Amino acid sequence: MPKNTIHSKQRYLIMCVRCGKTVDERHDQTLCGACGGPLDLAWNYANLKDWMPDSTIEGAVMRYAALLPIQKFDTNLTLQEGDTPLYKLESLGKKLGLRNLYVKNEGANPTGVFKDRGTYVEVLKAKELREKALIVASSGNMAASCAAYTAKAQMPCYVLVPETTPVGKLVQMLEYGAHVVKITGEYSDCVRLAQKLAPLHNLYLAGDFVFRREGQKTLAYELCDEFQRMEKFSGKKIDAPDVVIVPMGAGTHLAGIWKGFKDYFQLGFITKMPRMIGVQADGSAVIVEAFDKNLTRCGTWKKTSTICSAVAVADPLDGDFALQAVYQTGGTMLSISDTETLKAQKLLAEVEALFVEPSSALTIAALPHLFARKLIKNGERIVCVATGNGLKDPQTPLMSLPQPPILAANEDVVSRYLQRKIG
Ligand SMILES: *Cc1c(COP(=O)(O)O)cnc(C)c1O
Ligand SMILES: [Zn+2]
């Protein structure tokens, strides 16, 4: 029997993405022991033949529990992650010439970011492995999310973040009671430190690892289920969106969403795979650089430089995975300047009343480029994933917004000002 065959009763195997070696599920097994590559779960779909998502089960993670690597779900730890709104952008779509443009608003998650789906699964796994405390390196959102779920689980949480972490994220992790250390370096320095220090201090290493990626899959399931519900009314065949556009830092989110679509495809719930499109900031376009050179291996940069702090990743752990997702689905990758990203952030807020953080606006900024290069077409069902809430990082957009005037508390003064404005 080949080494990687799944036994009929096993739900999944954990394998190295690079060298294919299988590994045991252990608390210190976050990367491949043989080559240091990222790990992935291979699911035994034969066990899921009769499974169907039950739409009466509330909560995205519980509804899809059969496709998640947790033995027993502690529902006391859920914060009601997932089941986020899917908006059709009629006004912005009209402006851009795209009549089926959607945004999946992941900023509506409990801590304001998509990562909550993965964090719930990761913290459940830490509990299952009887871990006492957790350490996480983060550019802000991952730590805020981990701090929330560990607060719920009453588990100490140690956080390493860059000194420049946006204030909205910092205040969250402090309120949730995490032990926060600011590092004079960038995100990749924090990751390197956390990986070294976790075993030394017997802490569970949370981050862009195998169990988190599984939690992120639920966004893909949810999207397919939502489009299928729409199909009932339109009478047309819609099973998955045509295109899904995702901002990339480490690439874990895009890889997880792709994996979710693959699960649904394998199970026969959808008949085609959406094209996956990854967007980065010009100042941290590490994965895009590999894509432009047609490489399957993502490199590393020494430094990043962008206002999109949530995607400023110099050493993307799931870069190879994201490249594979894009190549295999006939998608593409591109990078965007900070100036354009800020404009797109403002446009989305003004036209659609959706205030997202700069990293999330990358997907909106990408649309005119993709359209001009004929990589997306009018009529296709296009979903931009809005990864995080705008209040997470108020300082960045404030720098380019007009300052409101400060006037005396005097009726005439304010009236004169209004008259000038109204014209
Ligand atoms: C973490 C994050 C990303 C990037 O996701 P990756 O999984 O690192 O590619 C994008 N946007 C926001 C708001 C994030 O917090
Ligand atoms: Zn390996």
Which domain, by its residues, includes 346? 86-107+213-398
Write down the pLDDT at residue 228.
Answer: 87
With respect to residue 306, please indicate whether it lies within any of the assigned structural domains.
yes
Global confidence as pTM: 0.95
The angle formed by the CA atoms of residues 90, 91 and 97, to the nearest 5 degrees, is 80
Query: Average pLDDT of 389-397?
Result: 95
Write down the pLDDT at residue 2.
Answer: 43
28-81 confidence digits (pLDDT tens)? 677 888 888 888 999 999 989 889 888 888 888 889 999 999 988 888 999 999
Cβ of 309 less than 6 Å from ligand 1: no
Does the structure show a pLDDT above 80 at 358? Answer: yes
Specify the CATH number for the domain of residue 296.
Answer: 3.40.50.1100
Please say whether the beta carbons of 146 and 176 come within 8 A.
no
Backbone phi, psi, residue 84, to 5°: -85, 160
Please say whether the beta carbons of 207 and 187 come within 8 A.
no
- Cα 384 to Cα 276: distance, rounded to the nearest angstrom: 10
Mean predicted lDDT score pLDDT of the chain: 93
Q: Higher pLDDT residue, 288 or 62?
A: 288
Distance from residue 158's CA to the centre of ligand 2 (Å): 28
With respect to residue 205, please indicate whether it lies within any of the assigned structural domains.
no
| 237 confidence band (pLDDT: 50, 70, 90) | low
- Which of the ligands is closest to the CA of residue 22? 2
Residues by chain with Cβ below 5 Å of ion ligand 2: 16, 18-19, 21, 32, 34-35, 37
pLDDT above 90 covers a percentage of the chain that reads 83
Give the alpha-carbon dihedral of 316, 322, 327, 333, to 10 degrees. -70
Does the structure show a pLDDT above 80 at 176? Answer: yes
- Cα 81 to Cα 321: distance, rounded to the nearest angstrom: 25
306-343 confidence digits (pLDDT tens)? 999 999 999 999 999 999 999 999 999 999 999 999 99
Please say whether the beta carbons of 224 and 230 come within 8 A.
no
**How far is CA 355 from each of CA 34, 66, 93, 382, 392, rounded to the nearest angstrom?**
44, 34, 17, 19, 10
3-state helix vs strand vs coil in the chain, percent to 5: 45, 15, 40
Dmax (CA) for the chain in angstroms is 87
Distance from residue 23's CA to the centre of ligand 2 (Å): 9
Cβ of 360 less than 6 Å from ligand 1: yes
Write down the pLDDT at residue 26.
Answer: 73
207-236 confidence digits (pLDDT tens)? 988 999 999 999 999 999 999 888 776 666
Q: Helical H runs in 154-205?
A: 167-175, 187-200
Does the structure show a pLDDT above 50 at 1? Answer: no
With respect to residue 30, please indicate whether it lies within any of the assigned structural domains.
no
Does the structure show a pLDDT above 80 at 298? Answer: yes
Query: Average pLDDT of 389-411?
Result: 94
Does the structure show a pLDDT above 70 at 251? Answer: yes
| 10 confidence band (pLDDT: 50, 70, 90) | confident
Backbone phi, psi, residue 413, to 5°: -65, -50
Cβ of 249 less than 6 Å from ligand 1: yes
Write down the pLDDT at residue 236.
Answer: 61
Number of domains forming the structure of the chain: 1
- Which of the ligands is closest to the CA of residue 356? 1
With respect to residue 51, please indicate whether it lies within any of the assigned structural domains.
no
With respect to residue 384, please indicate whether it lies within any of the assigned structural domains.
yes
* Residue 18 DSSP label: T
Query: Average pLDDT of 4-19?
Result: 78
Best CA proximity match to 284, nearest among 318, 316, 244 = 316
Exposure string of 289-320, with b = 16+ CB inside 10 Å and e = fewer, is bbbeeeeeebeebeebebbbbbbbbbbbbbbb
With respect to residue 379, please indicate whether it lies within any of the assigned structural domains.
yes
Distance from residue 415's CA to the centre of ligand 1 (Å): 45
Cβ of 311 less than 6 Å from ligand 1: yes
Distance from residue 236's CA to the centre of ligand 2 (Å): 44
Query: Average pLDDT of 279-298?
Result: 98
Number of Cα atoms under 13 Å in the Cβ half of residue 97 = 10
With respect to residue 417, please indicate whether it lies within any of the assigned structural domains.
no
What atom in ligand 1 is closest to the CA of residue 313? 8
- Three-state DSSP at 122 gives helix
- Cα 296 to Cα 332: distance, rounded to the nearest angstrom: 13
With respect to residue 79, please indicate whether it lies within any of the assigned structural domains.
no
Please say whether the beta carbons of 53 and 19 come within 8 A.
no
